[in-house]
Amino acid sequence: MDSRDNSPITVNTAVRPARMGDGSGIAKLVNYWAAQGQMLPRTLGETYEHLRDFYVVEDDDDIVGCAALHLVWSDLAEVKSVAVDERMQGLRIGATLVNACVDEAIQLGLSRIFALTYQPEFFEKLGWKRADVMSLPRKVWNECYRCPKFPSCDEIAMILELE
Ligand SMILES: CC(C)(COP(=O)(O)OP(=O)(O)OC[C@H]1O[C@@H](n2cnc3c(N)ncnc32)[C@H](O)[C@@H]1OP(=O)(O)O)[C@@H](O)C(=O)NCCC(=O)NCCS
């Protein structure tokens, strides 16, 4: 008799707001992808400073997905640090996390949100549109100036209008 378990892999993709105990798991996941050049790194200190921005997906006590909604201005927020564990890709964890940020942005009354990414097709699948980063002056003047990539940023700006 074949004793192998052929049942499909099931993952709990429930999204929840981050808690203090998630900080190191978030930083580990983000910095894994930062080391591949896919996003900016975050120190553990920055992660705790912005912990209330984050949503996470947890599996077996590991953080396997995260995304953050970062307020920029009265009408603008950025979806940042969208990261899914390499072993858990394609399970809609990324989509669920981004949509949690979108739902919160709507509840807050924001009119649009944006992301800077090397994966524009992922955001397009979720209804986002490509944009010129210079159409986001608040972002550029508030944060881009302090970024090591400025002024040669090659990330693609994506926007979702919420009204
Ligand atoms: C990009 C990333 C967040 C996607 O997460 P994921 O959980 O694997 O994606 P999902 O399963 O939620 O995919 C949702 C849809 O987007 C598509 N998709 C996902 N990644 C894609 C990509 N890189 N290019 C094109 N389409 C992509 C999926 O096929 C799916 O399409 P469908 O609705 O037709 O089935 C993940 O690959 C990741 O963490 N990458 C490294 C970090 C990164 O680049 N983050 C990007 C934002 S800064």
Q: Is residue 139 part of a domain?
A: yes
Ligand 1 atom 7: residue of nearest CA = 94
Q: Is residue 6 part of a domain?
A: no
| Distance of alpha carbon 93 from the chain centroid | 11
pLDDT category of residue 11 using cuts at 50, 70 and 90: low
Q: Please state the pTM of the whole predicted model.
A: 0.91
Ligand 1: atom nearest CA of 89 is 8
Q: Is residue 54 part of a domain?
A: yes
Check pLDDT > 80 for residue 5.
no
CA-based angle 154:160:162, to the nearest 5?
155
Alpha-carbon distance 39 to 69, whole Å? Answer: 15
Which of 8-17, 20-29, 112-121, 141-150 has the least mean pLDDT? 141-150
Q: Which residues line ligand 1 (CB under 6 A)?
A: 33, 38-39, 82-84, 89-95, 117-119, 121-122, 125
* Higher per-residue pLDDT: 93 or 154: 93
Q: Is residue 102 part of a domain?
A: yes
125 Cα: distance to centroid of ligand 1 (angstroms): 9
Q: How far is CA 121 from CA 12, 101, 130, 149, in A?
A: 25, 18, 10, 22
**Residue 157: which domain range?**
15-161
The number of folded domains in the chain is 1
Q: Is residue 105 part of a domain?
A: yes
Q: Is residue 116 part of a domain?
A: yes
Check pLDDT > 80 for residue 95.
yes
53 Cα: distance to centroid of ligand 1 (angstroms): 20
Rg of the chain over CA atoms, in angstroms? 17
90 Cα: distance to centroid of ligand 1 (angstroms): 7
Q: What percent of the chain has pLDDT over 90?
A: 71
Check which CATH number belongs to the domain holding 139 and give it. Answer: 3.40.630.30
Contact in structure between 81 and 42 (CB atoms under 8 Å): yes
